[in-house]
Chains A and B, each alone.
Chain A
Amino acid sequence: MKSLKLLALFVIPLGIIIAAVPPDRVKHFRLTADELLQEAGAGVQFVSPDVVADMLVQKDPSLRLIDVRTPEEFDAYSMPGAINVPLSNLLADEYTDILNQDAYMNVFYSNGSVYANQAWMITRQLGYENNFVLEGGLNYWFGNILSPEEPSQTSPNEEFAQYDFRKSAAAALGGGGVVSTGPEVPAVKALKPPSTTKAKKKPAGGC
């Protein structure tokens, strides 16, 4: 009986403490380094710029572009509708609701894809879903989506379809800041792009 009282003296206070503290205080790290490397290697985080362009033109409400560059760069130019979450402040409390959610498809972008990839890796480690990276970043976006190059006469039909799509997308999205889209793009608004199968392709990896 004496040992029972001694045991009770120990475990009951401990039990009360553990019942009183809020559960789930641990930040769950869901991925091992190996798993993360595998995902990054397979490129499941990338969203093709054509998909993003299509969603922008269709005004898809589920798309949310996140600029991870500095606020100065963001002010100088940003993609239509993008919000600024600088990489250096990624873990600030004010951004948690933006990054850890299941309503939007978040697409990180930076000039290339290095910073956007870093943002994706950090959020992935934290177990956040629905975050993706714009493949090629702004550089590719300017060079290929907003000012597409006309394919040569011998190119396969798919390339012409892609070119047509990009040209009309550029028309709809152009005039977005410092970039000159060139004289071949008329400043016509809301030119509906021909939908191509490529543009319909969903981003790889579960979203």
Chain B
Amino acid sequence: MNTDTQYLQEVADSDYEHGWAVDIVSDTIPKGLTEDVICLISEKKEDPDWMLENRLRAFRHWQTLARDKDKYPRWAHLDYPDIDFQDISYYSAPGSKPKYKSLDEVDPELLRTFENLGIPLEEQKVLAGVAVDAVVDSVSVATTFKEELAKLGIIFCSFTEAIENHGDLVRKYMGSVVPYTDNFYAALNAAVFSDGSFCYIPPRVRCPMELSTYFRINQAGTGQFERTLIVADEGSYVSYLEGCTAPRRDENQLHAAVVEIIAHRDAEVKYSTIQNWYPGDSQGKGGVLNFVTKRGICKGAGSKISWTQLETGSAITWKYPSVILQGDHSVGEFYSVAFTKGRQQADTGTKMIHIGRNTSSTIISKGISAGLSNNSYRGLVRINKKAANARNFAQCDSMLLGDRCGAHTFPYLEIHNPTAQVEHEATTSKVGEDQLFYCQQRGISEQDAIKLLVSGFCQEILAKLPMEFAVEARKLLAIELEGSVG
């Protein structure tokens, strides 16, 4: 068992102090989205007026987009029926009605995965959406960390708390990187977001630990329209972890999160994600539709933002963590492994927008497709007119396991400055016959050899994840491969 799960087990075994903080009596808002619903959400969140105004502005904009189905974003290489946005409930409070009465009702495939990941039984129930009597109390864990962080002046709290206690910071930065006008789902999120995380690192502070939302897995209901805002002030550093290896079952099918990162002069933010939302059953039914807008801005000179992701879940993944390289000498990085199987569809990649001088960006993307899945890399590199001496290198490799899946690469290179150096390379192939033979000659079975080689294919990216996360990621990938090889 690895460190994280061990830790959780310890927490689970320890004395139970607080359960769910279920004190909201009526938690369900009827389906549909109107101004009244926005007001209701705002009321439940106890928003200040400015936040309600923000929500309404975003909602009105979203309405202009949603009115006309021609304006739905359709450019991605994804195939799914139009979402009926009036058939969704936009607010579910913590502890709302569980979906299942016992684990027996849960997809056995999902349970097998839990088993393999070594997730404690009680936690499995939470993740699968089963009614539980006692739950892991990770809130208290987070609180302990928070005290330690507070000594350094680091703010790490829920978005709701941030609005209440650090309104000025939230007002200043929220929407400054991903405005509500950015895209369809960003508008939707800005209107209805329920909660999320806020993080502020003061000047010249190096955050001593990986900030993780892992410990908040039981704060259900925040996942659907989550909002994350990270501000790294001058010369600071933070490594932020999002997600969790456990395939999380959620009754909310539509997810539209927004993540914004601001890196000031010489600041560095490393953002790591493991995304393993429920991908649906073997027919692709019931899987999460994941439409995420993630973007960071290297605002100050010498700043750096690095995205690393392992995407294995969701029925639909639509996600392009991006960096705006505004400060001179700023650096943007994107490292990604996307694994799809069954009927999953992923259209993911990045945008690197070079504005400042001497900026550089690196993109390394590995896509693995199995089963009937489709896996697309889509990435934009734009070198603006004034971005002298910009450098970009992109490498996108795809691997196909089986002859009924698809692997696609759609790079967009837009160059407006003669001093730019932009390189893009991509390859697509299956597992090498010679490599397979070599492994088999050493006594390793074909299935194990394929797993070994595919893990090797991703190694370069997984090695970029923080240590414990990387261990989890490898394990997760091995499990995902288990079901799709041979």
User: Do they bind each other?
Assistant: no
Binding site for B on A (CB under 8 A): none
